[in-house]
Amino acid sequence: MCKYYFCTLNFVVMQPIAITGSASVSAFGENNSEVFNQKHSLSFDQELLDWVGRLPESLKAKIKALRNENRNFQALDASVLYAIYVSRLATRQAGWKKGDAFGINIGSSRGATQLFEQYYDAFAKTGKAETLASPSTTLGNIASWVAQDLQNDGPEISHSITCSTALHALLNGVAWLQAGMCDKFLVGGSEAALTPFTIAQMQALKTYSRAREDADFPCLAFDLEKTENTMVLGEGAASICMEKGTRENALAYITGVGYATEALQHAVSVSAEATCFQKSMRMAVESAFGGAENDGISAFAEMPKNIDAVVMHAPGTILGDQSEYKAIQKLFGDKLPLLTTNKWKIGHTFGASGLLSLDTAIQMLQTQKWEEAPFFSPQAKPKELKNILVNAVGFGGNAVSILVTRA
């Protein structure tokens, strides 16, 4: 199986994977409810003294109600509760029930950030760890609690691959489905890392926005003219339900997947033309449309015709935005697809960001509405949005590209 799907560019065309359920929470609201407004949802936090993308108060109230419905939920980190919440919504939409046979792979870049910092602060002061400090802050805490809540009959996997975590979960789910080891798979990513120490880490890297409290756009994601980094952190989670083959209730189809890792100059670097994205996007397209060895026509050469849009990773940093754009230019030449990103609106949600971008792509395919990035000149919209590439990359130069197609 690996030979054909993930270990070489020369694999056969993959079978479509139906997305039968999709749910998200972010500064947009629930299920991208505000995705097509033309205002950002970032706010200046008076305690952190920085811009952040927080869940709306109405959503916070629902998460609080979720915490209170089960005494075992009282000790869980917010990232776990977000994952449980969106997983319930996604599986309900897909028609899955408790006890059904399906796999779960949900990850996070930072894991139980709020609880870990809380418990460590207490330890630093007293020299003693609280009783539940270990089980409630382990990385495997997310998928296992979702599995407990949904009572699935299947594997449960947690992982962290920094900012491409959620799309790596999707890759893994595709592999299980293609291998015939599962008929259904729930994948997701969750992040609740709006803490002083986490933001201080981004400031130390000099990636965080220094926008004033009255700034109109604190995050200039995909503004290629900016002169300083403007990344803003957001919290959020997303889950999707996947089933192999065609389904009447499909929201969209995953028709291509690609990934790549590039050599680093330092721990957080990316090459000037994002070689990893060039490889991952090409792989995703060729797994959908086939290569020259399959049909005599290079899918790579036909990319401008095959791809209508790209939802970019574009985190709001100078190098991150420009290198991804250059990678797209390298592949598409002067026939660029529509390009956008959602991070100027909701911030960078770390491990959840890839699936939040995928959720945006699904919304665009279903509504045939285009979500523009305000800092990039709009391109001519195609008659139909049919195929959209979604990109994510994390520290370590690990990129993932997913091709999602209209149902």
Domain-wise residue ranges, the chain? 2-6+17-406
Predicted local confidence at residue 265, as pLDDT:
63
Predicted local confidence at residue 357, as pLDDT:
97
Given a contact cutoff of 8 angstroms between Cβ atoms, the answer to whether 282 and 399 are in contact is no
Neighbours of 249 (CB within 10 A): 14
- Using CB atoms within 10 A of its CB, is residue 155 exposed (0-12), middle (13-18) or buried (19+)? middle
Predicted local confidence at residue 2, as pLDDT:
34
Phi–psi pair at 83, nearest 5 degrees: -65, -40
Query: CA distances (Å), 259 to each of 107, 341, 397, in order?
Result: 17, 19, 10
Q: Rounded distance, CA 334 to CA 115, Å?
A: 48
What is the three-class DSSP state of 348? strand
- Strands 387-394, 338-340: parallel, antiparallel or unpaired by DSSP? unpaired
**Number of residues in the chain:** 407
Q: Where are the alpha helices (DSSP H) in 157-274?
A: 165-178, 196-204
Each residue's pLDDT, cut to its tens digit, for the chain (407 residues) gives 333 334 443 445 678 999 999 999 999 899 877 777 778 999 999 999 999 999 999 999 999 999 999 999 999 999 999 999 999 999 999 999 999 999 999 999 999 999 999 999 999 999 999 988 988 998 778 999 999 999 999 999 999 999 999 999 999 999 999 999 999 999 999 999 999 999 999 999 999 999 999 999 999 999 999 999 999 999 999 999 999 999 999 999 999 999 998 876 654 456 667 889 999 999 999 889 875 454 444 666 777 788 999 999 999 999 999 999 999 999 998 889 999 999 999 999 999 999 999 999 999 999 999 888 889 876 777 889 999 999 999 877 789 999 999 99
- DSSP-derived letter for residue 71 is G
Neighbours of 338 (CB within 10 A): 22
Q: Where are the alpha helices (DSSP H) in 298-376?
A: 303-306, 318-332, 343-346, 353-367
Predicted local confidence at residue 291, as pLDDT:
59
Homologous superfamily (CATH) of 2-6+17-406 is: Thiolase/Chalcone synthase (3.40.47.10)
Angle between helices 353-367 and 165-178 (to 10 degrees): 70
Q: Where are the alpha helices (DSSP H) in 127-253?
A: 133-137, 141-150, 165-178, 196-204
**What is the CA 13 to chain-centroid distance, rounded?**
24
Predicted local confidence at residue 10, as pLDDT:
42
Predicted local confidence at residue 8, as pLDDT:
40
Predicted local confidence at residue 264, as pLDDT:
67
Q: What's this model's pTM, rounded to 2 decimal places?
A: 0.93
Predicted local confidence at residue 324, as pLDDT:
95
Given a contact cutoff of 8 angstroms between Cβ atoms, the answer to whether 360 and 349 are in contact is no
What is the three-class DSSP state of 258? strand
Nearest Cα to Cα of residue 276 among 167, 160, 199, 174:
167
Q: Rounded distance, CA 215 to CA 10, Å?
A: 48
Amino acid at 115: L
Given a contact cutoff of 8 angstroms between Cβ atoms, the answer to whether 119 and 113 are in contact is no
